[in-house]
């Protein structure tokens, strides 16, 4: 049987005595495109950090291709939230993407070699921004910068790509193409995307879960009313782009307009 790319079993995480994740069980297969949606503060980033081995579970386990995160961290490509990057540094796109190779360099003085440049160039091609390689990162649009930070993660040859709110700076017309690019990547790696934005879920995802401390999933690409209500604690109107979707119940106050 193929080893899951990610297997979380009964994962519970507390920070400062507060329960952030409770009994999260999740399986991501090697070519899944897995979307996890949940409101702000529901524990999405914490779940990614637990998968990376950056926070330690109070209970339960995480396995990356069958091993603890610290042993297989090099198989994970992590793209943190856009706002955590400082784009004011005067570096070119190529220099930034090359830094995704740092974990692979064994040469003295951590010098990049031809293979590092090859991987960085391929990563830029995959994100369709090779023509921007020599441009300064700070001069690019938000959407182009977003692609560059994903290319940086790809340069490290991950087998799992973890994306935290990747569509924040992607406008609606570009979003469809952005998901087509991710769909191509899926032939080489699993993709896990977390977002608070239900509208940012593409029909191209293969599995969806809802998270709010606990996880609600059917391990399919279907979101049910029960999953959303459990995660968002209220009925949610789901008008996603191409997801097999249903428009759900309206909020109580909308059903009975005040006179």
Ligand X SMILES: Nc1ncnc2c1ncn2[C@@H]1O[C@H](COP(=O)(O)OP(=O)(O)OP(=O)(O)O)[C@@H](O)[C@H]1O
Binding site for ligand X (CB under 6 A): 15-16, 20, 38, 40-46, 196
Both tokens of 36, joined, read: 């996890």
* Integer CA distances (angstroms), 249 to 143, 215, 256, in order: 34, 22, 13
The pairing of strands 33-37 and 207-212 is parallel
Asked whether 132 and 149 are in contact (CB, 8 A), the reply is no
Tokens of 85: 């990057």
Cβ distance to ligand X smaller for residue 133 or 236: 236
In angstroms, the Cα distances linking 53 to 46, 142, 199, 202 are: 10, 29, 29, 28
CB-nearer residue toward ligand X: 18 or 107:
18
Give the residue among 130, 149, 23 at the shortest CA–CA distance from 84: 149
Q: Residue 121 or 230: which CB sits closer to ligand X?
A: 230
The least CB distance from residue 163 to ligand X, in Å, is: 12
Please state the closest distance from residue 165 (CB atom) to ligand X, in A: 7
- Residue 111 CB, shortest distance to ligand X, in Å, is 35
Q: Which is nearer to ligand X, 42 or 206 (CB)?
A: 42
Non-local CB neighbours of 102 within 8 Å, separated by 6+ positions? 110
Q: How far is the CB of 166 from ligand X (least distance, A)?
A: 12
Q: In the bound complex, what is the minimum distance in angstroms from residue 37's beta carbon to ligand X?
A: 10
Taking the complex as a whole, the smallest distance from the CB of residue 181 to ligand X amounts, in Å, to 23
Give the nearer residue to ligand X in terms of CB position, either 15 or 102.
Answer: 15
* Cα angle: 246, vertex 21, 194; to 5 degrees: 45
- Helix or strand or coil: residue 219? coil
For ligand X, which is the closer residue by CB, 52 or 121? 52
From CA 46, how far away is CA 151, in angstroms rounded? 23
């Amino acid at each position: 049987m193929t080893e899951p790319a990610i297997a979380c079993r009964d994962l519970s995480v507390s920070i400062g005595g507060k329960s952030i994740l409770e009994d999260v069980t999740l399986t991501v297969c090697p070519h899944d495109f897995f979307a996890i949606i949940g409101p702000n503060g529901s524990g999405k980033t914490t779940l990614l950090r637990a998968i990376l081995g950056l926070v330690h579970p109070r209970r339960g386990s995480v396995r990356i291709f069958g091993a603890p995160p610290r042993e297989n961290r090099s198989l994970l490509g992590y793209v943190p939230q856009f706002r955590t990057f400082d784009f004011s540094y005067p570096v070119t796109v190529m220099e930034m993407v090359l830094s995704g190779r740092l974990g692979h360099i064994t040469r003295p003085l951590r010098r990049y070699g031809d293979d590092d440049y090859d991987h960085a160039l391929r990563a830029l091609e995959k994100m369709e921004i090779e023509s921007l390689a020599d441009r300064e990162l700070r001069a690019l649009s938000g959407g182009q910068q977003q692609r560059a930070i994903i290319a940086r993660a790809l340069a490290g040859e991950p087998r799992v790509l973890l994306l935290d709110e990747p569509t924040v700076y992607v406008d609606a017309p570009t979003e469809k193409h952005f998901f087509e690019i991710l769909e191509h990547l899926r032939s080489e790696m699993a993709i896990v995307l977390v977002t608070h934005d239900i509208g940012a879920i593409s029909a191209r995802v293969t599995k969806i879960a809802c998270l709010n401390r606990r996880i609600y999933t059917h391990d399919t690409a279907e979101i049910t009313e029960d999953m959303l209500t459990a995660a968002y604690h209220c009925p949610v109107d789901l008008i996603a782009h191409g997801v097999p979707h249903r428009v759900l119940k309206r909020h109580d106050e909308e059903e009975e307009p005040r006179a």
